Amino acid sequence: MSILRNHPFAVEAFFESSLVFTFAISKEHLQDLIPHCLELDTFNDHWAFVAIAMVQTKDLRPKGFPKQLGNDFFLIGYRIFVRFTNKAGKKLRGLYILKSETNSKKMEVLGNLFTNYQYTTTDISRVHKNDTLEISSAKSGFHVVIETKSKENIEMPDATPFYDWKEARRYAGPLPFTFSFNPMTNKVLIIEGVRKHWKPEPVRVIDYSFSFPEKLDSKDFRLACAFIVKNIPYTWKKGKVESLSV
């Protein structure tokens, strides 16, 4: 079963939209949540970051399979920005998986069979009204409202550590790599994502609340930025496993 979960084949999908909220928190509050082989990807040597991505996914399937065999679902991914130095000495920038949620029971079963993304099923409500988009989940305990019309002169979140949107874009997600760690085998699984035309646009956040940050027990957890991309073909390469030195 552990071999099956190592992304044994490439996967492709189409992102109708990917909305990412990036939260900043003092690095000491996240250090214990990542394995020893990873390091936090920090800003100004103080801030570490958690991304909560909300993705409307279409036609997800093994690469090369016809679209008719694909699956459509909504994904909420909770990830920490990290870096990993591989055996070749190359430092890879990516995300460490905390948990994943979906509105599809089928995706939960298949996702947990072929990945280490820790899928659970939840309820998702999406409401478009008056140039706004509201996304919420009673079970997962979150509620967000964003403006969908304006694309210019969008203010940065009040408590962001970033100077401007250009600086914040480095933490727009997703990053080229995603990592998971198996402490039983002392191995790191590396998943490389490939996308085209990835140009995140800043989002004006009208309202938001998440129950997840409350579990981190930190008063300085703050919204750093929010970005959205639309209509993106996306591919995940077959997973690579790298053994760590004892």
- Sole residue written with tokens 């403006």: 147
Q: What is the pTM of this model?
A: 0.92
Query: Is residue 66 left, alpha or beta, with left meaning phi > 0 and alpha meaning psi from -120 to 50?
Result: beta
Q: How much is the pLDDT for 244?
A: 86
Paired tokens of 68? 């008719």
Write the pLDDT tens digit of every residue in 26-84.
Answer: 999 999 999 999 999 999 999 999 999 999 999 999 999 999 899 999 999 999 999 99
Could you please report the per-residue DSSP string of 88-128?
A: TSPEEEEEEEEEEEES-HHHHHHHHHH-SS-EEE---EEEE
Query: Percent of the chain beyond pLDDT 70?
Result: 96
Torsion, CA 90, CA 37, CA 32, CA 82, rounded to 10: 20
Q: How confident is the model at residue 115 (pLDDT cuts 50, 70, 90)?
A: confident
